[in-house]
Chain A
Amino acid sequence: AQSVSQHNHHVILSEAASLELGCNYSYGGTVNLFWYVQYPGQHLQLLLKYFSGDPLVKGIKGFEAEFIKSKFSFNLRKPSVQWSDTAEYFCAVNAHSGGATNKLIFGTGTLLAVQP
């Protein structure tokens, strides 16, 4: 069965520190990859996505992620975090199984707390 692993459950950083959140998936075929973010009290929203092309994708608010096919990974990065990045981050994968429905598999999430 397809699965998504996020290695860090809780991350605490100081402002201006660099961030990398790990995400690995298990599926050997073609995938679409997503990072979603949920700020406190807000709904889940898309941070960035990878469908094809350049494996380094840039999203909103200075975030980027790199798809490394050989490692089945899609890690999220930001060079310098801000207090406003405090949120929960979810990695998600859509495996192309022949259907047309975007059925996503989510990781368990990483809670990021940025200290001012």
Chain B
Amino acid sequence: DVKVTQSSRYLVKRTGEKVFLECVQDMDHENMFWYRQDPGLGLRLIYFSYDVKMKEKGDIPEGYSVSREKKERFSLILESASTNQTSMYLCASTAGLETQYFGPGTRLLVL
């Protein structure tokens, strides 16, 4: 079974803090994704990466950056957290055009 893990299930941060969300997959997938999930808005793509050191903006990249130094790890960075970034963050991975596999999510609260 594919396993996608995220470093934290819950995080509480203060406005202005730098936040790192880590995601690791164990299936040697080329593609990895970061989404945020908000009630009534579904999942919205923040960034994705199709190879090591490669990244592309998704639909809502503002206020976020990403890093992919190793194939199995994809990090989401909030340079200066704001209250409107309080959300559930989901990481996913896939090989090519196949099914995306999701991690358990990180619920981030920014105070």
Contact = CB atoms under 8 A, between A and B. Distances in A.
B43 A102 contact: no
Interface string A50-67: 000000000000000000
Interface residues of A, number: 24
Interface stretch (A13-21, A68-76, A77-85, A104-112): A104-112
A107 B44 CA distance: 9
B99 A46 contact: yes
A102 B96 CA distance: 6
B89 to A, nearest CB: 12
B103 A104 contact: no
Contacts of A36: 102
Contacts of B100: 102, 104
Interface of B: 31, 33, 35, 40-45, 48, 50, 56, 58, 90, 92, 94, 96-105
Interface of A: 6, 9, 32, 34, 36, 42-46, 49, 90, 92, 94, 96, 100-104, 106-109
